[in-house]
Amino acid sequence: MPELKYFVEDRHATWLELFFDLVFVASISVITHHLTHVHGGHLAGQQVMLFISEFIPVWWIWATHTLYANRFDTDSKTHRVTSLVIMFLMTTLSAFLGAGLFDGSTRFISFYIAIRLVQAGMYFSTSYRLPESQPYAKWMGMTVLGGMAISLLALFFSSPLRQLIFLGSIGLEMIAIAQISTQRTVMPVHCSHLVERIGLLSIILLGESVISLVSGLSGLEWNQYDLFAAVTGFLMIGAIWWIYFDSFNIPERAKRIQ
């Protein structure tokens, strides 16, 4: 049986994990794109709600896979294939982003359910392969299936109840997984690997932010307002980088204190 990456000395994110993050950054870029279409210099409330309602499911898919890989990644052919299947489904789901939960909710939720089914299968497979992790992996698989079932139920209702049930299923899943993760039998997260995974996603998103900033500034007349926007925009991007990456050692210090 392939060795768990969890026990590899000086563990780092794999090339597949980096590829996985790139797919999700592309999806998040699509979600954030509609925020650039302002009317009279102001964002409409529906635009903000659309961003939140699409970002949460996309982020939850990424978080679920990341937490699974953090504990149970073997970099085996099976793990690679299932991860690539999720990436393909996520790429297809991205075609419905930007209108997502309001206009294309049936297709959006259907692809979300398909991804969650794959992720539940990964946990059930792990409970079979690793008897010592069976209680946790089995409960995680059942929780993901339960959330998926509620998401499926949402398809039988019309808007806006459909969207409320769908987002509610994710909220219930989060609460259940947080409860499962407090059990003493749970394998603790690999702290340095998790920090690195979040860091990889963050640095790619920051790169996308720089591209968006450059794109937004091109073709301007460059008056004092344009200059102010350029300076403040880059300062915000730089501040996000500084705050996160200057705090890389905090989780490790907390781990040593425990």
Q: Does 57 sit behind a cis peptide bond, omega within 30 degrees of 0 on the bond before it? A: no
| Mean pLDDT to the nearest integer, 14-42 | 78
Asked if the structure places residue 1 within a domain, the reply is no
More confident residue, 255 or 192: 192
> What pLDDT, in 10s, does the model give residues 87-99?
999 988 888 776 5
Q: Tell me which residue has tokens 């392969």.
A: 129
Contact 201, 21 (CB under 8 A): yes
Mean pLDDT of 7-24: 88
Last residue of a domain, one of 139, 160, 187: 187
Tokens of 100: 């997502």
Question: Does 7 map to a domain?
Answer: no
Above pLDDT 70, what percent of the chain?
84
Residues 179 and 200 in one domain: no
- Same domain assignment for residues 156 and 213: no
Gap between the Cα atoms of 64 and 74, Å rounded: 16
The yes-or-no verdict on residue 26 having pLDDT over 50 is yes
The pLDDT of residue 245 is: 74
Instruction: Enter the pTM of the model.
Output: 0.83
Domain boundary among 137, 166, 187: 187
Statement to judge: residues 25 and 139 lie in one domain: yes
**146 and 52 in a common domain:** yes
Return d(Cα 47, Cα 126) in angstroms, integer: 40
By percentage, how much of the chain surpasses pLDDT 90?
30
Could you give the C-alpha distances from 201 to 178, 189, 241, in angstroms and in order?
A: 22, 18, 12
Residue 179 belongs to some domain of the structure: yes
pLDDT in tens, 122-170: 999 998 888 778 788 999 999 999 999 999 998 888 877 888 899 999 9
Q: Which of 64-78, 141-155, 235-249 has the lowest mean pLDDT?
A: 235-249
Task: Please count the other Cβ atoms lying within 10 Å of the Cβ belonging to residue 76.
Answer: 13
Hey, is 73 helix, strand or coil? Answer: coil
Highest mean pLDDT (candidates 45-54, 67-76, 177-186, 217-226): 67-76
Q: Give pLDDT, residue 258.
A: 40
In a domain, 5, yes or no: no
β strands within the chain, DSSP E: none
Inter-residue contact 11 to 193 (CB < 8 Å): yes
98 is a domain residue: yes
Residue 3 lies in a domain: no
Residue 201 tokens read as: 């996603």
Tell me the two tokens of residue 48.
């903000």
Q: Round to whole Å and give the CA distance between 69 and 21.
A: 13
Domain boundary residue, one of 133, 164, 187:
187
In a domain, residue 4? The reply is no
- Exposed/middle/buried for residue 231 (C-beta within 10 Å: 0-12, 13-18, 19+): exposed
pLDDT tier for residue 4 given thresholds of 50, 70 and 90: confident
Residue 173 has pLDDT above 80, yes or no: yes
Same-domain check for residues 45 and 104: yes
Q: What is residue 254's predicted lDDT score, i.e. its pLDDT?
A: 47
Same domain, 43 and 171: yes
Find out whether 109 and 151 touch, Cβ atoms under 8 Å.
yes
Domain housing 254: 190-258
Give the number of domains in the chain.
2
148 and 84 both lie in a single domain: yes
| Residue 54 and residue 170 in one domain | yes
Whole-number average pLDDT of the chain? 82
**In one letter, which amino acid is 4?**
L
pLDDT tens, residue by residue, 192-230: 888 888 888 888 888 877 777 777 777 767 777 778 878
